[in-house]
Amino acid sequence: MSMVKTIEVLFETLFSKPMTVKFPYEAIEIPEDYRGEHELDIDKCVSCGLCAEICPNRAVEMVELPEEYKEKYPKTYPRLDLRKCCFCGLCQDICPRKCLKLTKNVFLATPDPSAVIKNPMPKGPQ
């Protein structure tokens, strides 16, 4: 009896859609609120340092920017070390200006060790 059932299930499975998808051609959609790579909107940051204070892994450090940015951004800003980060999102939750956010980018593996240090400088040419 149970054998018949098993064979039945086997046949069903044979002709049904697989549970997996063909990555990278298809992917399961990542929800908006996913805790992935960080994104800092430096113009909104007020340098309160709360993100560095709450981080359980001390992955956030408040640093001064290099000379060429000093004029525009004179205070200290969070620099992130993604290798230390556990992606808990506490820094995002505590940020009073909501300028530090976790995005849904999960493709963080890299052969370049310096790529995991996220400097606070705004992207693109100055």
Partner 1 sequence: MTKQMNEKELITIEHIEQIIPGDTDYNFYFGPAHSGSGNFGVKLRIDGEKVTSARADPGYLHRGFEKLMEYRIPMQNAVLSDRVCVLEALNWNLVHAEAVDELTGVEIPQRARYIRVLMAEMSRLQSHLIWYGVMSLALGFDTGFKMAFGYRDYILDIFELITGGRVYPAGYICPGGVRRDLPDGSEDKIKRVLDQTEEMMQKMKDFDNIVFSRRTKGVGTLRTEDAIRLGATGPVLRACGVETDVRKDDPYEIYDELDFDIPVREEGDAYARCLIRGREMEESIKIIKQVLDRIPQGNIREPAKITPPSRVKIPEGEVYVRNELARGEGCAYMRSVGGGEPYRVKLRGPDFLHMIPVLEHLLKGSQIADIPAIYWSLNICPADMDR
Partner 2 sequence: MAESLHKESKVIEDISAKFKIAGKVQRERRVWVTIDKDELIALCNFAKGLGFEHLSAISVTDWPEEGTFELTYHLWSYSERILLTIKTKLDRANPAVGSVVPIWKENAQIHERELHELFGVEFEGNEDLTPLFLEDWDGPPPFRKDFDWKEYVRQQYYDQANERERAYYD
Give the CB-side neighbour count of residue 6, counting CA atoms within 13 A.
3
Q: Which does 83 bind (CB under 5 to 8 A by kind): ligand SF4, partner 1, partner 2, none?
A: partner 2
Choose the binding region for partner 2 from 4-12, 31-39, 41-49, 77-85 (rule: CB under 8 A): 77-85
Q: What is the enclosing helix (H) or strand (E) of 69?
A: helix 67-70
Among 83, 97, 98, 104, binds partner 2 (CB under 8 A): 83
Nearer to ligand SF4, 69 or 87 (CB): 87
For the chain, the helix, strand and coil percentages under 3-state DSSP, each to the nearest 5? 25, 15, 60
What is the spatial distance between Cα 72 and Cα 9, in angstroms, rounded to a whole number?
66
Q: Closest distance between partner 1 and the C-beta of residue 28, in Å?
A: 7
Q: Which residue from 89, 119, 121, 122 is in contact with partner 1, where contact means CB under 8 A?
A: 89
Does residue 115 belong to the site contacting partner 2 (CB under 8 A)? no
User: The tokens of 87 are what?
Assistant: 């992606």
Candidate segments 29-37, 39-47, 68-76, 108-116, binder of partner 1 by CB under 8 A? 29-37
Cβ–Cβ under 8 Å, residues 79 and 117: yes
Provide the binding-site residues for ligand SF4, judged by CB under 6 A. 45-51, 54-57, 59-60, 78, 80, 85-91, 95-97, 99-100
Which neighbouring-strand residues pair with 63? Answer: 77
